[in-house]
Chain A
Amino acid sequence: MNTILLQNLVTPNVSLQAVLPEMIVAFTGIIVMIYDSFMPKQRMVTGALSLIGLAASAFALFSMWGEAPASSWNGMIANDGLRMSFTLVFLFVSAMTILISTVWTERENVPIGEYHALLLFATFGMMFMAAGNDMVIIFLGLETLSIATYVMAGLRKSDLKSNESAMKYFILGSFASAFLLYGMALIYGATASTNITQIASMVGKANFPALLLIGGAMLIIGFGFKVATVPFHVWTPDVYEGAPTPVTGFMAAGPKASAFASFLRVFVIGFPLVSGAQASAFLHESWVTALTVMAILTMTVGNISAIVQNNVKRMLAYSSISHAGYAMVGFIGAGVAKTMQDRDEAIAAVAFYMLTYAVTNLGAFAIVTLIAQKNDRRTEFDDYNGIGFKSPVLAFSLSLFMLSLLGLPLTAGFMGKVLVFRPALEAGSTLLTVMVVIAVVNTAISAYYYLRLIVVMFFRERTTSWLEPKVSGALAAVLIITILGVFYFGIFSDNVIEKFSGKPSVQSAQIK
């Protein structure tokens, strides 16, 4: 038996170029870590190094966009539009987080080198999650990401809230990882493979169809936790509130997107509807239905809970839950797409949604970080009373981000929503149409709490003193980039979508 195994071993088609963006980020992380251990007093160097690394990675990404073969590393690494577009989101989130954190690392006196290294490793993990076409890679990416973010959530070592946040995240996160892993094991058992492409070809003729179903359920639990869908969202508000503000912004934008990337890959690409195969039909129908119900619950629960919050960070945490619900509408749309092209476009829509959400949310968190002051003291709604005309730039920018989260036309948020709702509508199924109706109702409800922040800022009197925070160069850069992004993605979204779907959409367009 052993001899057979040895014969099976083939030299993998190693292509460093296919993982160049990931490698650059990982090596930058290592360099930052080493540099920091020799020069612990530095304040700027590791940040600059990290940004350079991320930029180089983005450059590598662009150079291989649409060029590389469909997969490499024996099919373990995918080079499709899904990976490319999501990776771009991660690099963007990471770079913005570094810039936003400058304020915070200054005033909290955190070990800055460690922080940057952790952030880069987390980014590396996210990139692997999007690139992995094999459950091993996805698992490794997910754990790299998780372990780094556990630490980041608890970076303020002496702060009870930060401790608690890290502890909860760690225990619940690894709890959910165990489910995910069990799911992977069962899928492996049912299909004899961990490769997504091969799984996709095996779902119709699985050895143990029942295990396939239970494995699918376990995967939904695991990914559902990372994406924070109801009922696996319970950790989100507490962890987000307790974590340092820039880290919260990062967690809501980056890891959530990366979980979506692998969630999409495993379910939409890995568990397709194979005609004539009953097992795949059951699996497909059950996951689509289960996720539809979860999407409806997620956006509704997220919204309703956000309304009653008095803490801005917590409100944004719940808002991120409801946004995950909206993104899932596009996800399900991709799942029920009838042609490959429709599927790719729906996946691109989800990626675009995560990009718009990242842009908007990071902008909001930049301002929340700035206003929070030392030890994240000022994060209640009351702390925003009447700052509208005292710090008009901050207040107007924050209002813009709220309007984009709300989905006002011409902002990024609106375009993102329109794009993710579209594929689900086109499916023409009653359940999915009901889901879209509920999603639109939910966006109407969400006006309540997004506008509340605007109202608080402009219409309330301030009773306590207000020290206008100084906007540093880095933070100004973040604000400018995110504001431009909000408008650019709202007005010229076509350019981005074209790039994300991996091919020029002019050829693909057809009139019904």
Chain B
Amino acid sequence: MTENNFLSLIIFAPLVGAAINGFLGKRMKNELFSGVVACTAVGVACVVAFMIAFGIGTPHAGALTAASEGKPVLDHIWTWIQVGGFRADFGLGMDRLSGIYVCFITFVGLLIHIFATGYMHGDSGFYRFFAYLNLFMFSMLTLILADNYLLMFVGWEGVGLCSYLLIGYYIKKDEARKAAKKAFVMNRIGDWGVLMGIFLTYSLTGSISFFDKTVDGEKVQSVFSWISQNVMTADPFTWGAIIGGGLTSIGVLMFIGACGKSAQIPLFTWLPDAMAGPTPVSALIHAATMVTAGVYLVVRSNAIYQLSPTAMWIIAIVGAATAIFAASIGLAQNDIKKVLAYSTVSQLGYMFLACGVGAFTVAIFHVMTHAFFKALLFLGSGSVIHGMHHEQDMRKMGNLRKYMPITFATMFTGWLAIAGIPIFAGFFSKDEILYKTFAADSYFPAGAFPGNEILWGIAVVTALLTAVYMTRMMVMTFWGTERFHDEEADVHAYMEHGHDDQDAHADDHSDEDEEEHHHHLPHDFKPHESPWVMTVPLIVLAFLSTVGGLVGVPYAMSSLVGAGDVNVFEHTLEPVIAKVGKNEAHSEHSTTEKKEVKHFFAETKGAATSEDHGGHSPEVIFKERMLAVFSVVIALLGIGIGWFIFQKDPLRKMPKILEDKWRIDELYNGYIVDPLTKVSREGLWKGFDVGFIDGIVNGIGHLVAALGGVVRGIQVGFVRSYAAFILFGALVVIGYFIYYGFKLIG
């Protein structure tokens, strides 16, 4: 066990930054001060994170590079609570999983902070914004670095709270307020799942710790090592396992939490609405970091999931369904940020699909590459919006490459990355997911995965759709004619808007935000390129989106160019993935690799060192290569389709059903909210107006309120009625006890 007390600096530096901005920011009234404080705080966290992760200047080997298998670097800050066998430490731990997460979060976070100093320039709440942003970093890093489930939950709730504050940052905008509430409430549903999952984990294993460790001379066994020692067989692959109270129940409950945080069906509608927040927030929280916390939770708990095939199967299905569903909606959005939001939901679906088929390392790989290219695309869109004076409607853009060359060039790489063009980061991770889904039978713990070909098909179609809608977005924004003064485009938009209005129950958010966007730009308006604080982060991210995927090139591809096994990423994560329930061949495969990659960081520089690749039989490699070729074809096809359709007619009318997001909000409203509201409104519920939560939750709220009406019928105000009520209750209690008395005598 390695201790390093500087680990806590990673989380506390942003906290200090938040405190300084929160308490002094208002008094200083100085953007430079607030910006420097916030960026320095994250910068410190970033530097420390990299030092500990790679062992630069530390007395111990880095968390990612240490030769010993998966020995985490720990920092016990204090004993949070200890009663009986229950122990929760305020302790941090960096193992390979959290190490990777922390590195990309702090680094991407730093870039976004820098970007935001430019984007938020002139905002009256500048200091407040950065205080929230730093607070978010603190919560997020606590979530990732926590060494037990309960502290992780602290971060989990914290990021939810910060996300709520930041979505609702433009407090005056009704849309922002509603979106904030929706996000918070949907996340609360998920939080319930996580908390129940944690409780169940504790009652099953007697521990909530992630790592085996010794604290105050006392040995603490981790959840996962308890499982590996005590659970010999996987849960049965049946529906009944879900309510069995075993590992499958834990898995499903935690996945409910992951659904809420990572916007999966059915809890996904908050994420597109969350785009009401400032764009750097969308990039940081709703694309790169917070929304991937669900994936982190699942991968962290992979020891649990590998023994509960039902839970994994559900995850794979939900992931695939979300991926294609969101991608189809993304095809028809006109708000540049909404396109990216649905794209994020879709990509998160990919990650869960990977988790579900047992390819946990690939899921994390995609989390990382996605963080690069999605942050890039979001910041790029922020730059566009900034240059367009807060116009987000792509129908009023066009030919921006002339005015914003750097933004265009960087977003171009992001486009290729997400579409899955080889060499760019997204290609390797997405292709791996497709391949692993296709070959799920050899990864899935319960043996054969039912329906993996269907899931693979869905994933391929999603890849095609992704390429199409991203091309549409690029074409509408950067090519074609300049439409910022185009009355026709306006009229077009207005007509549609009017049409929307005729729908009685049209989603009121989209109405409102369209209204907001229909301001006329001045006639001498020219879009402008953003300042360097905004373009430099774009360039760095574009670089990462280009080469970031090279750390995880699978053997099947690296061997093409004569390189050996250079899949550094997968080998780094290997110790994190529990060795349970795998089939024989695979475990052999990993043991041989384990020996061989002991010093892979040294090795990879020399490349091509290993001759024997036990797991890589020629047939498997061939299959993987063929599939890769196929997915490249799909990506090119998608780009081609998108190019030819939208180059010709950028304002092409998309299918109404897609534009209306499959009418999912209406579905929630029509079948759940309205009936509940109706029943409660006409029945017992009167004069109850909090206007608090919309969507599905509103219905539940009304139902609860209706119940409240019943309950408060008791409260009539007369003492004698109360006395009668108490007497009645007394008779029930006494009657119950007398029943027991009779049982006793008789």
A437 vs B153: C-alpha distance when bound (angstroms): 17
Which listed residue, A436, A448, A506, touches B216 by the CB 8 Å rule? A506
8 residue pairs bridging A and B, Cβ less than 8 Å apart:
A224-B729, A286-B737, A437-B196, A440-B192, A494-B79, A510-B84, A510-B85, A512-B207
Q: A167 in the interface, Cβ–Cβ < 8 Å?
A: yes
Given A176-B726, A307-B708, 17 further pairs, Cβ under 8 A: A209-B745, A210-B741, A210-B745, A217-B734, A415-B81, A419-B83, A425-B202, A444-B192, A447-B185, A451-B692, A459-B171, A492-B78, A492-B80, A497-B83, A505-B84, A508-B84, A509-B82
Is B83 in contact with A445, judged by CB distance below 8 angstroms? no
Is B725 in contact with A418, judged by CB distance below 8 angstroms? no
B 65-108 to A, binary, CB cutoff 8 A, 1 in contact else 0: 00000000000001111111111101000000000000000000
A218 vs B733: C-alpha distance when bound (angstroms): 8
Q: A349 in the interface, Cβ–Cβ < 8 Å?
A: yes
B154 shortest CB reach to chain A, Å: 4
Q: B688 in the interface, Cβ–Cβ < 8 Å?
A: yes
Which listed residue, A179, A278, A308, touches B744 by the CB 8 Å rule? A278
B588 shortest CB reach to chain A, Å: 34
A378 vs B690: C-alpha distance when bound (angstroms): 19
- Choose among B81, B189, B704 the residue with the greatest number of A CB atoms under 10 Å from its CB: B81
Contacts of B715 in A (CB 8 A): 234, 237-238, 305
Q: Which residues of A, 331-382, contact B by the 8 Å Cβ criterion? A: 341-342, 345, 348-349
A 210-236 to B, binary, CB cutoff 8 A, 1 in contact else 0: 100110111011001100001110110
Is A497 in contact with B81, judged by CB distance below 8 angstroms? yes
Residue of A nearest to B172 (CB): A459
Known: A231-B725, A237-B715, A493-B80. Contact between A459 and B704, CB under 8 A?
A: no
A 406-421 to B, binary, CB cutoff 8 A, 1 in contact else 0: 0011100001001101
A131 vs B158: C-alpha distance when bound (angstroms): 40
Residue of A nearest to B191 (CB): A444
Contacts of A175 in B (CB 8 A): 723, 726
Please tell me the number of chain B residues within 8 Å of chain A, measured between CB atoms. 75
Q: Which residues of B, 698-746, contact A by the 8 Å Cβ criterion? A: 701, 704-705, 707-709, 711-712, 714-715, 717, 719, 722-723, 725-726, 728-730, 732-734, 736-738, 740-741, 743-745
Is B737 in contact with A216, judged by CB distance below 8 angstroms? yes
B373 shortest CB reach to chain A, Å: 32
Residues of A within 8 A of B (CB): 167-168, 171-172, 175-176, 179, 209-210, 213-214, 216-218, 220-221, 224-225, 230-232, 234-235, 237-238, 278-279, 282-283, 285-286, 290, 301, 304-305, 307-308, 341-342, 345, 348-349, 408-410, 415, 418-419, 421-422, 425-426, 428, 433, 436-437, 440-441, 444-445, 447-448, 451-452, 455, 458-459, 491-494, 497, 501, 505-506, 508-512
Contacts of B717 in A (CB 8 A): 238
8 residue pairs, one from A and one from B, having the closest CB atoms: A512-B206, A231-B729, A308-B708, A217-B737, A409-B154, A210-B741, A234-B722, A286-B740
Which listed residue, A179, A216, A238, A448, touches B692 by the CB 8 Å rule? A448
Is B701 in contact with A448, judged by CB distance below 8 angstroms? yes
Is B196 in contact with A304, judged by CB distance below 8 angstroms? no
**Which of B218-226, B418-426, B602-610 lies at the binding interface?**
B218-226
Is B719 in contact with A511, judged by CB distance below 8 angstroms? no
Contacts of B218 in A (CB 8 A): 506, 509, 511
Q: B203 in the interface, Cβ–Cβ < 8 Å?
A: yes
B195 shortest CB reach to chain A, Å: 6
A93 vs B426: C-alpha distance when bound (angstroms): 59
A220 shortest CB reach to chain B, Å: 6
- Choose among B84, B189, B714, B743 the residue with the greatest number of A CB atoms under 10 Å from its CB: B84
B 187-221 to A, binary, CB cutoff 8 A, 1 in contact else 0: 01101100110010011001100000000101111
Which listed residue, A167, A342, A440, A497, touches B195 by the CB 8 Å rule? A440
Is A440 in contact with B740, judged by CB distance below 8 angstroms? no
A283 vs B744: C-alpha distance when bound (angstroms): 10
Contacts of A440 in B (CB 8 A): 192, 195-196, 199
Residue of A nearest to B226 (CB): A512
A230 vs B181: C-alpha distance when bound (angstroms): 31
Is B711 in contact with A304, judged by CB distance below 8 angstroms? yes
Q: B161 in the interface, Cβ–Cβ < 8 Å?
A: yes
Residue of B nearest to A458 (CB): B171
Is A448 in contact with B693, judged by CB distance below 8 angstroms? yes
Known: A409-B157, A494-B79. Contact between A214 and B734, CB under 8 A?
A: yes
A422 shortest CB reach to chain B, Å: 5
Q: B177 in the interface, Cβ–Cβ < 8 Å?
A: yes
Is B726 in contact with A418, judged by CB distance below 8 angstroms? no
Residue of B nearest to A459 (CB): B177
Is A509 in contact with B722, judged by CB distance below 8 angstroms? no
Q: B126 in the interface, Cβ–Cβ < 8 Å?
A: no
- Choose among A213, A225, A290, A408 the residue with the greatest number of B CB atoms under 10 Å from its CB: A213
Contacts of A410 in B (CB 8 A): 154, 158
A219 vs B177: C-alpha distance when bound (angstroms): 49
Q: B120 in the interface, Cβ–Cβ < 8 Å?
A: no
A213 vs B87: C-alpha distance when bound (angstroms): 38
B424 shortest CB reach to chain A, Å: 39
Is A171 in contact with B157, judged by CB distance below 8 angstroms? no
Is B85 in contact with A304, judged by CB distance below 8 angstroms? no
A290 vs B730: C-alpha distance when bound (angstroms): 12
Q: B184 in the interface, Cβ–Cβ < 8 Å?
A: yes
A285 shortest CB reach to chain B, Å: 8
Is A167 in contact with B719, judged by CB distance below 8 angstroms? yes
A411 shortest CB reach to chain B, Å: 10
A459 vs B90: C-alpha distance when bound (angstroms): 34
B 357-380 to A, binary, CB cutoff 8 A, 1 in contact else 0: 000000000000000000000000
Residue of A nearest to B693 (CB): A448
Is B83 in contact with A349, judged by CB distance below 8 angstroms? yes
Is B737 in contact with A213, judged by CB distance below 8 angstroms? yes
Is A282 in contact with B743, judged by CB distance below 8 angstroms? yes
Residue of A nearest to B216 (CB): A506
Is A221 in contact with B722, judged by CB distance below 8 angstroms? no
Contacts of A283 in B (CB 8 A): 740
A341 vs B85: C-alpha distance when bound (angstroms): 11
Which listed residue, B154, B177, B714, touches A234 by the CB 8 Å rule? B714
Is B203 in contact with A494, judged by CB distance below 8 angstroms? no
Residue of B nearest to A231 (CB): B729
Which listed residue, A218, A282, A421, A492, touches B734 by the CB 8 Å rule? A218
A458 vs B733: C-alpha distance when bound (angstroms): 45
A71 vs B177: C-alpha distance when bound (angstroms): 58
Known: A210-B744, A494-B82, A509-B82. Contact between A305 and B730, CB under 8 A?
A: no
Residue of B nearest to A493 (CB): B81
A380 vs B661: C-alpha distance when bound (angstroms): 40
Known: A409-B157, A415-B81. Contact between A451 and B184, CB under 8 A?
A: yes
Contacts of B726 in A (CB 8 A): 172, 175-176, 221, 225, 231-232, 234
Residue of A nearest to B734 (CB): A217
Q: B116 in the interface, Cβ–Cβ < 8 Å?
A: no
Contacts of A408 in B (CB 8 A): 157, 161
Contacts of A232 in B (CB 8 A): 726, 729-730
B661 shortest CB reach to chain A, Å: 26
Contacts of B732 in A (CB 8 A): 231
Which listed residue, A234, A447, A493, A508, touches B188 by the CB 8 Å rule? A447
Q: B150 in the interface, Cβ–Cβ < 8 Å?
A: yes
Contacts of A448 in B (CB 8 A): 690, 692-693, 701, 704
A310 shortest CB reach to chain B, Å: 8
Known: A231-B729, A307-B704. Contact between A509 and B84, CB under 8 A?
A: yes
